[in-house]
Amino acid sequence: MVNPVLLIAVPLGLAFAIPLFALFWKDAAKYIPPVALAFNLVVSLLLLPKVFENPVIVSIGGWQPPFCINLVAGPVGVLFSAIIALVGLLVSIYALDYIKEGATEKYHILYLLLLTGATGVVLTGDVFNLFVFFEILCISSYALVAYLRDKSGIESAVKYLIQGAAGSSLLLIGIGLLYGQFGTLNMADIAEKITSASPISLFVPMVLLITGLGVEAAIFPLNAWLPDAHSSAPSSISAILSGIAIEVGLYAVARVIFTIFGASGILLFLAFLGIVTLLIGEMCAFSQNNIKRMLAYSSIGQIGLILFALAIATSYGVTGGLFQLISHTLGKALLFLAAGYMIYQTGSLQISALEGMGKKMPLTCLAFTIGVFSLVGLPPFIGFPSKFLIVRAALATKETIFIVLTGLALLGTVIEGAYFFRVVQVLYFKGGKINPVRKEAPVAALIPMFIFVLLIVVVGIYPKLVTDVLNSAASEFLSRTEYIEAVLGSIL
């Protein structure tokens, strides 16, 4: 029996051990994150089959729930921790070669802390712990955005920090209100008692929690920090921020809405917000010349789509939302990694500077193109089944409003296709006169990129591989009573 506590304890401990190891061997710092994350991946995958039967509940300190701080490793939590570990592992391999300048030790410490925070958020079963892990995630990401110490990095880190800190204060007020009403911090316990409370007294904490978490999840209109932060961070960090940090924010929003509040009245509003986020993100992306800003705005669009899918709140909708979440994580991480080396080669962030890259860096460009196709949703790749599921779920509700919103979502996808294909066109079909000198990205960067490509293609062809996992994850979100019983079962 593997204990899920290790998923948090091992990376946390190793993160703080990095300076110690680096005293003896200078290069140790950059090899520790891959080791820690490989460990996490193995543990998560070992846990995965077990949690389908019963969620693993760990109570820290020997008290029974709801009095202790507990971890709930249900299908959703373990699935997310596996994805976090997988993406983190691949990006840390990429960073072996990519991060050369500055205080590299500090980079690796912060990187590992960020992923610890993310894992903690998805595994915890306690609202205040959620806040603490969230802060670990946020503070380390503020610092990482400013890592390059250039003008734009510092400026966007300041923006990100101010918005993020204000958001987490709101989150804390929300938690305080919940505690004041129910006298407990355990999510399952709150969820059980919440049925007896009046809806009006719940509204304020719910709005505060969603706003606080929505800042990190970059839901419109709280997303002003995202394009700046993602485009001025180092590319490996952009990949993590875009592939993991905002997904974890969304997870927290979904957990608050579905499990704690079990709210249905707010879902339609969230579906609207999702579509608005989607359209604004895609339109802004369309008008960008800077490739990383374009990718960042496209992340906002994808977040909107996922939020919309989750807000449908049927089993198909949530499954589709989670599937889209995975496909976005893989696709966007791949795009940022590939773009990182293309920018490194050309020394410019402009899309027009990428002319003829298809001949100079064929493998990197191939990876980039596959990432693009997958995000837009072309059939052989992972983006297709996920978008297909969302559309099917939306149409299955048979409500006019959802069908109209689906139409708008598809419009967003068309815009997305337009600007992504423009980049692909620049990569391959322009600037033929430049004599092609082949200069690839280093092997340490190509390996993770092609593992991403492999995953995208394999899961795209056999979506069955993940849909079963996702189905049970979706049912965890939707059936609150089971969650409550699983956590509190021992004392009821």
Residues at the interface with other proteins (CB under 8 A):
128, 132, 135, 139, 142-143, 146, 149-152, 154-159, 161-162, 165-166, 168-169, 172-173, 175-176, 179-180, 185, 227-228, 232, 284, 287
**CA–CA separation, 74 and 70 (whole Å):** 12
Listing DSSP states for 126-156 in one string gives BHHHHHHHHHHHHHHHHHHHTTT--HHHHHH
Q: What is the widest separation between alpha-carbon atoms in the chain?
A: 75
Provide the 3-class DSSP secondary structure of residue 353: helix
Nearer to other proteins, 147 or 316 (CB): 147
For 227, phi then psi, to 5°, come to -60, -35
Least distance (Å) between residue 12 CB and other proteins: 15
**33 is written with which tokens?**
């994150």
Least distance (Å) between residue 71 CB and other proteins: 17
* Residue 206 CB-density burial (10 A; 0-12 exposed, 13-18 middle, 19+ buried): buried
Provide the 3-class DSSP secondary structure of residue 124: strand
Least distance (Å) between residue 132 CB and other proteins: 6
Least distance (Å) between residue 412 CB and other proteins: 18
CB 344 within 8 A of CB 439: no
- Residues β-bridged to residue 69: 60
Nearer to other proteins, 76 or 127 (CB): 127
Least distance (Å) between residue 229 CB and other proteins: 10
**485 is written with which tokens?**
């019983």
CA distances from residue 55 to 4, 40, 50, 82 in whole angstroms, order as listed:
11, 18, 8, 15
Between helix 291-312 and helix 246-254 the angle, nearest 10°, is 20
Nearer to other proteins, 71 or 127 (CB): 127
The phi-psi region of residue 399 (left if phi > 0; otherwise alpha if psi is between -120 and 50; otherwise beta) is: beta
**CA–CA separation, 416 and 151 (whole Å):** 30
CB 487 within 8 A of CB 125: yes
Nearer to other proteins, 186 or 413 (CB): 186
Q: Which letter does DSSP use for residue 350 in this model?
A: B
Nearer to other proteins, 160 or 381 (CB): 160
Nearer to other proteins, 49 or 180 (CB): 180
For 224, phi then psi, to 5°, come to -65, -25
Least distance (Å) between residue 364 CB and other proteins: 27
Residue type, 2: V
**CA–CA separation, 7 and 39 (whole Å):** 8
Nearer to other proteins, 81 or 168 (CB): 168
Nearer to other proteins, 54 or 287 (CB): 287
Least distance (Å) between residue 146 CB and other proteins: 6
Least distance (Å) between residue 163 CB and other proteins: 9
Nearer to other proteins, 260 or 285 (CB): 285
Least distance (Å) between residue 173 CB and other proteins: 5
Nearer to other proteins, 137 or 273 (CB): 137
CA distances from residue 252 to 346, 383, 399 in whole angstroms, order as listed:
38, 23, 27
Least distance (Å) between residue 253 CB and other proteins: 20
Nearer to other proteins, 183 or 489 (CB): 183
Provide the 3-class DSSP secondary structure of residue 73: strand
Which residues touch 52 (CB under 8 Å, ≥6 apart)?
75, 472
Nearer to other proteins, 141 or 374 (CB): 141
Torsion of CA 100, 101, 105, 110, to 10 degrees: -100
Least distance (Å) between residue 227 CB and other proteins: 8
Least distance (Å) between residue 344 CB and other proteins: 21
Which residues touch 470 (CB under 8 Å, ≥6 apart)?
79, 319, 322, 323, 326
